[in-house]
Each structure stands twice: as structure tokens, then as C-alpha cells.
A and B are shown apart, each in its own frame.
Chain A
């Protein structure tokens, strides 16, 4: 139906967005790739020289890299486990009819809107602080020794903070998916004497599979880049106990001025994220066809 005239107009309307996104993708990324092959330190300007794959070699063999990679995986995996399992349970609960559904829903969603620096600092000071935090006060009331969360279990504490921010997201999406479940089919299964467990495994869970996959993939994209929460709570420490890949790159490039090494790390992070992105894109693409 579209005429030649409207096609030309359409192309003109799309082009600013395409050009901008293309530049945004290609210019900085190209520079990162270029820097990653240079010996380039901000403290020694004018001394840049070509080094081939040296930066990658040194970035990958440093002990901090192995630790950061493991921490990144633990952080992503831990938060996913808590939010997906918690999200399914919460969505099932909130899907039941009860008084004040609207208010409870609003309370459950709220943490998602709290900016990362606020949630991290509030948890760090008001709850996990070993002297004045709420958990310390509770421990003292119960006659227990207060626990110093962020120095004894830094990564686990950060996982808890990040999971608190993302649980609402998983819950909200799974709840939306639950509400489109075929009620009649469910009732028929109940009439036929299917137990709660069987209904959950054979009806509810298959219905949720797609949304769970979407939750996992989208959260992974964001969780691979967790930064603010680490910066304001532990600074990656003690040692490298809570350093993830983004934080390691930040440390190397902006704190140690090693532009070459930091860039190589950035490219490693891009490759890692692309593996996840590949699967996410395929899912969304399939959806676009239907």
C-alpha cells in the first residue's frame, strides 16, 4: 500500500535514529578496541606504543581477573536465583484474591524505583552496619554477637542488596504472565482432581516458562553491569572479595590510569555480555514474528 513517496519519507524519519545509534555503537567501541592494543597510561602521556595482545594477556592472567570473573558469575547467578524463585512464589501469592491487593502490590514494587546508590547506602548503614544497623540491634536484643556483613560476607551482602532491587521486577512480570493464564483450564483440572502440585507443574510452570526466560535474560544484561552498589558499599574489597568485572575495569582504567589494560578488560566484558545478548535477541525476535 505504501507509495514510493511515503517510503522516502519513512526513510528520512528513521535515519536520525539509525545514524545516532550507529555512531554511538561504532565510535567508542572502535576506540576501546584500538586502545586495547596500545601501551597507554594516562600518567605517561605521549608514550603510547603498539603492543599487540599484551594488554589482554596481562588483564587475563592477573589474579584479580579470575576473582572478578567468579564474582561476576556469583553475583548474577545469586541474584537470579533469589529473584526468580522468590518472584514465582510472590507472584503466585499476589495472584490470589485477598483484601488490599492494590496496596500490597504497590509496596512490593516500590524497591525497583529506588536509585542504586540510595538502596546500597541504606542497606549498608541502616541495616548492615555492625554497630548502629538494624540487624546489629536485633542481634543484641537476642543476645547474639552482631555480624559485620560487608566485611565478613561482602559479596553475599551485595547480592542481597541487588536482589532486593530486582525482586519487584521479576514479581511484576511473572504476575502479569500469571494473570493471562487460562482460568477455565485451571478449573477443569481442579474438577478432574489434579492436585495443587500437579496443576503447578503441568499448567502454571509451562505457561510461565517464556516470561521466566525473559526475566532471566533481561536481568542478566543489567546484572552483568552492576557498579554503583559496589562502589558505595565495599569499593570491591576487602581485597578483591567483591570486585566484579565492571569494577575491575573501572579500577584499572580510571583509578590506575592504565587505559590499555582497562580497554582490554572492557572488550572482555563486551564479549561476555554478547553471549547472553545473543540468546535474548533470538527470543525477542521470535516474539516479533508471532
Chain B
């Protein structure tokens, strides 16, 4: 009797979970489907859409009309560039705070986090004017610096929680065996720190790729990443569902794939280590 009710429960759970999962995922699935349709078919009723023919036409069209490749490249340069720059600044800082903690390390960490709490709109005006006066509007260099700064606290925090987990005894043992500071860092700490650095990098690339305040405010065309390019579809002329879908599919695909690899890090990174 008990077994019967539990197998019934399992099937109910299975059906419910799959249905809800499918509904939540559906909008993404629908963009992918529409991206392989002609503009005429894309606006038909759902069932007619599914039974109509498939084509790669929209993908070619998007690139031809709008130089899609440039915006994609901008997204890559901005997200990877700002992440690498942030790592260069954050790795030494997180390292020092994790391995040589002082009395004020905790306050310092909290203060760094507090800079992340400032709403972007609070500094929109001066940033816009500074960028205008320095000729940085619509430049990749300027935006890379801003993206680095807004994500720096998260990067430092994530690295700090990872470094903190490297056991100190290992270092002591190495020191006993006569390892110098240099070889300590090179042969013992670095190999242990690499997984943490890699997941931090992954999460930060995702955050920078999807950033949609500064990228919209500070770029127009030449340095515009995909967020800004897609936004230009908000006032379209004529039929555009299939093209919007193709552009969107290409914009979210790389991040969806990276994101699936970084589920665990996502929790840790976005809660600043408060939930693991």
C-alpha cells in the first residue's frame, strides 16, 4: 500500500516538474523555433508556425543588414576583457586577504561589497558627462573599465571565499620542507586556486555579457554589444519576428551553455558566499 502511494506520488511529481519546467523554458524554445522560420510564417498562429517549413534565411539576413558579427565581437571583447582586467586586480587582493588576514580585513571586505550596493542611476549623470568630455562615449575601452569596476567587488568576494577554503596547514608543511615564498605560490597555491579562479571568471563573463544599464547608456553603434543591438529592435519597421529571434538566439546561446556549467558557482557568487 505504502509503495503504491509512493509510486503514484513519484509520477505526479514527474509530470508536474516536467510541465512547469517546460513552461518556464518555453519562451526560449519559442525564440529558437521562430529563428528558423520565414517572417511570414513567424507571425502565424502557434500550430501553423510549427507545421510551416524551416529555413536559415533569418540568420543570414541579420548579419547582412546589421553587421551582427561586430556586435557579437564587442560583447566578447567587453565581457572577457573586463573579466580578465578584474581578475588581475582581484586575485592579489583576495589572496592577501585570505592568507594574510589583518584586523581590518573583514571591514575592508564589507566596504568593498558596499560599493556594489550603489545604484547605477546615482552616478549616471557624472559618468555620462565624464565619458562625453573624455571622448569615451561609444568606446570599448571606456565601457570595459566601467564593467570591470562594477563587477570587481563580486570577483574579489568570490575569490576570497574560494581561497579561504585552501587549508593553511599545507602551506606550513611546505614551509617546513624549506619551500620559498615563490615556490610556495607557484607549486602549491596556484594549482589549488585554479578551479576557484576559473569559476569566478565564468560567472563574471556571464554577468558582463548580460549587463544592460551601462551598455545601453554609454554605447550607440561602434562599441555596442549585443544588449544594445537587440534593444534597437524595440522600434522596428516591417516584419521582424524571425530576424529578432535569430539575433536573440545567437546572443543568448553562448551564455546559456556557459551558464549551465556554472550553476553551483552562480549561487555562491551572487549570494557573496552567504549560501553555498
Q: Which residues of A contact B (CB under 8 A)?
A: 2, 6-7, 9-11, 13-14, 16-18, 20-21, 24-25, 27-29, 31-32, 35, 90, 93-94, 96-101, 103-119, 121-127, 132, 134, 137-138, 140-141, 164, 167-169, 172-173, 176-177, 210-211, 214, 218, 221, 224-225, 227-228, 231-233, 245-246, 249-250, 253-254, 259, 262-263, 265-267, 269-270, 272-274, 276-277, 280-281, 283-285, 287-288
Report which of A24, A121, A288 forms a contact with B106, defined as CB distance below 8 A.
A288
B96 within 8 A of A: yes
* Docked complex Cα distance between A246 and B122 (Å): 8
* Docked-complex contact B212 and A227, CB < 8 angstroms: yes
For residue A176, give the distance in angstroms from its CB to the closest CB of chain B.
5
Given A104-B17, A214-B271, A228-B213: A126 touches B233 (CB 8 Å cut-off): no
* Docked-complex contact B117 and A281, CB < 8 angstroms: yes
Contact partners of A24 in chain B: CB under 8 A: 115, 149
For residue B241, give the distance in angstroms from its CB to the closest CB of chain A.
6
* Docked-complex contact B117 and A122, CB < 8 angstroms: no
Interface string of B248-267 (1 = CB under 8 A from A): 10011001101110010011
Interface core residue of A13, A173, A231 (most chain B CB under 10 Å): A13
Contact partners of B113 in chain A: CB under 8 A: 281, 284
Q: Which residue on chain B has the smallest CB distance to residue A172?
A: B267
Q: List 20 A-B contacts (CB under 8 A).
A: A14-B108, A18-B93, A24-B115, A24-B149, A99-B14, A104-B18, A108-B25, A111-B24, A113-B206, A113-B258, A114-B256, A117-B231, A214-B271, A218-B271, A221-B116, A228-B231, A246-B120, A273-B117, A284-B110, A288-B109
For residue A219, give the distance in angstroms from its CB to the closest CB of chain B.
10
Main secondary structure of the interface of B (DSSP, over half): helix
Contact partners of A127 in chain B: CB under 8 A: 27
For residue B194, give the distance in angstroms from its CB to the closest CB of chain A.
18
* Docked-complex contact A137 and B46, CB < 8 angstroms: yes
B78 within 8 A of A: no
For residue A258, give the distance in angstroms from its CB to the closest CB of chain B.
10
Interface string of B110-144 (1 = CB under 8 A from A): 10111111111111111111100000000000000
Q: Which residues of B contact A (CB under 8 A)?
A: 9-10, 13-14, 16-18, 20-22, 24-25, 27-28, 30-31, 34, 43, 45-46, 89-90, 92-93, 95-97, 99-100, 102, 106, 108-110, 112-130, 149, 152-153, 156, 181, 206, 209-210, 212-213, 216-217, 226-228, 230-231, 233-234, 241, 244-245, 248, 251-252, 255-256, 258-260, 263, 266-267, 270-276
Contact partners of A93 in chain B: CB under 8 A: 13, 16-17, 20
* Docked-complex contact A284 and B27, CB < 8 angstroms: no
Given A126-B31, A249-B121, A266-B124: A21 touches B270 (CB 8 Å cut-off): no
* Docked-complex contact A28 and B127, CB < 8 angstroms: yes
Contact partners of B27 in chain A: CB under 8 A: 111, 119, 122-123, 126-127, 164
Given A32-B122, A118-B252, A211-B275: A21 touches B152 (CB 8 Å cut-off): yes
Report which of B21, B212, B256, B272 forms a contact with A116, defined as CB distance below 8 A.
B212
> Nearest 8 pairs between A and B by C-beta?
A31-B126, A277-B117, A28-B123, A13-B92, A228-B212, A10-B96, A107-B25, A113-B259
For residue B226, give the distance in angstroms from its CB to the closest CB of chain A.
7
Q: Which residue on chain A has the smallest CB distance to residue B100?
A: A10
Report which of B24, B43, B206 forms a contact with A107, defined as CB distance below 8 A.
B24
Contact partners of B129 in chain A: CB under 8 A: 31, 259
Report which of A21, A119, A132 forms a contact with B241, defined as CB distance below 8 A.
A132
* Docked complex Cα distance between A17 and B105 (Å): 13
* Docked-complex contact A270 and B119, CB < 8 angstroms: yes
* Docked-complex contact B275 and A121, CB < 8 angstroms: no
* Docked-complex contact A21 and B153, CB < 8 angstroms: yes
Contact partners of A169 in chain B: CB under 8 A: 266, 270
* Docked complex Cα distance between A21 and B155 (Å): 12
For residue A84, give the distance in angstroms from its CB to the closest CB of chain B.
14
* Docked complex Cα distance between A32 and B233 (Å): 32
For residue A288, give the distance in angstroms from its CB to the closest CB of chain B.
6
* Docked-complex contact A287 and B274, CB < 8 angstroms: yes
* Docked-complex contact A110 and B275, CB < 8 angstroms: no
For residue B267, give the distance in angstroms from its CB to the closest CB of chain A.
5
* Docked-complex contact A111 and B28, CB < 8 angstroms: yes
Interface core residue of A18, A110, A132, A173 (most chain B CB under 10 Å): A110
* Docked-complex contact A21 and B274, CB < 8 angstroms: no
Contact partners of A122 in chain B: CB under 8 A: 27, 30-31, 244-245, 248
Given A25-B118, A228-B216, A281-B110: A249 touches B275 (CB 8 Å cut-off): no
* Docked complex Cα distance between A103 and B149 (Å): 35
Report which of B117, B234, B244 forms a contact with A274, defined as CB distance below 8 A.
B117
* Docked-complex contact A125 and B244, CB < 8 angstroms: yes
Contact partners of B263 in chain A: CB under 8 A: 105, 109, 172
Given A2-B100, A172-B267, A221-B117: A107 touches B230 (CB 8 Å cut-off): no
Contact partners of A14 in chain B: CB under 8 A: 92-93, 96-97, 108
Q: Which residue on chain B has the smallest CB distance to residue A15?
A: B93
